[in-house]
Amino acid sequence: MDSNSVSPLPPLEAPLAMLDSEKTPPGTPNGIDMPPPPDEKRYEEDPDNAWNCCSWCEYLLIVILSTILLVGVLVLTLFWVMFYRDGFAWSESPKQQFNLHPILMIAGFVTLSGFSILIYRLCRCVKHIYVKLIHMFFHAIAIPCIALGFLSVFDSHEALQKVNFYSLHSWLGFVTMGMFVLQFVIGFFSFLVMLCCENKTYSCRSAMVPIHASLGLANFWLAIATSVTGLIEKERETVAETNVSAENKLIEHYITSAIGITLIFIGIIVTFAVRRSNAPASAKVYVTERI
């Protein structure tokens, strides 16, 4: 048989390479799921995830309602303290000094922290690095409020010779403060300092995002639970007071109940805003949160 009539066999490398390219999606060599490189477009930059009219209406509703609730709970607390608790001041009066505690704690743990969480999740009009800085700024402002709120109640208890850290409210508050400081330190180093080596720390930051987000939301709910238990504790003390009229006790009961219900609604709407999906069900999602 003539050797010239026999056609050479086609190389096997090309068909195998074609099969591999069909089975393995781009960015996942050897079929192993790998995180996208830092220069690849993120989820929120994908044009397929553009919002429709209903998404924008939902977005505006969340922003408006959460703003009203976060500011309203602080205003309602100020109204309660100023008109029914003899005001607040850092003075020789232990009662007025104690009244700084609910105002500063709700301002730091609820209002400022709530705005910080919502801004990070919902702000889409500026670069993400600016959103991170605003997120950190609101939490940084909350720190002196929390510290002064803690000192005010500690000093007032010392002046009235009351025992510190004996109730469920105080224990929850201590845990909430510790978790808040831990979250702030971890977030600062993980998502701001580590940006100095953005490409090398991408995998570490992507792994930290769901942990930081989940612990942050848990810390926010702990702050709400602490505030509600504090309102219950204060209401019990008010019922036992003999120098307060029955009418004022009833009004205070309604005010503190309104503050508690508002805190619960704030927790619900913040949780909904953080955990909602802002893309169609068919959208390709590389990461669950922005890094």
pTM: 0.77
**pLDDT band at residue 38, thresholds of 50, 70 and 90?**
very low
**pLDDT band at residue 41, thresholds of 50, 70 and 90?**
very low
How far is Cα 100 from Cα 19, in angstroms, rounded to an integer?
A: 69
Query: Is the pLDDT confidence value at 262 over 50?
Result: yes
CB 259 within 8 A of CB 77: yes
CA angle in degrees (0–180, nearest 5) for 23-28-30: 65
DSSP per-residue letters across 72-96: HHHHHHHHHHHHHS----SSS-HHH
* Other Cβ atoms within 10 Å of 126 Cβ, number: 11
CB 25 within 8 A of CB 286: no
Query: Is the pLDDT confidence value at 287 over 90?
Result: no
Helix, strand, coil proportions of the chain in percent (round to 5)? 75, 0, 25
Residue 271: inside a domain, yes or no?
yes
We report the CATH number of the domain holding residue 254 as: 1.20.120.1770
Residue 216: inside a domain, yes or no?
yes
Residue 30: inside a domain, yes or no?
no
Domain range enclosing 152: 52-275
Residue 22: inside a domain, yes or no?
no
CB 263 within 8 A of CB 226: no
The two structure tokens encoding residue 79: 């109204």
Q: How many domains does the chain have?
A: 1
pLDDT tens per residue, range 208-243: 888 999 999 999 999 999 999 999 999 888 888 878
Residue 15: inside a domain, yes or no?
no
Residue 182: inside a domain, yes or no?
yes
pLDDT tens per residue, range 135-153: 999 999 999 999 999 999 9
* Other Cβ atoms within 10 Å of 266 Cβ, number: 23
Residue 144: inside a domain, yes or no?
yes
Residue 93: inside a domain, yes or no?
yes
Q: Phi and psi for 283 in degrees, rounded to 5?
A: -70, 145
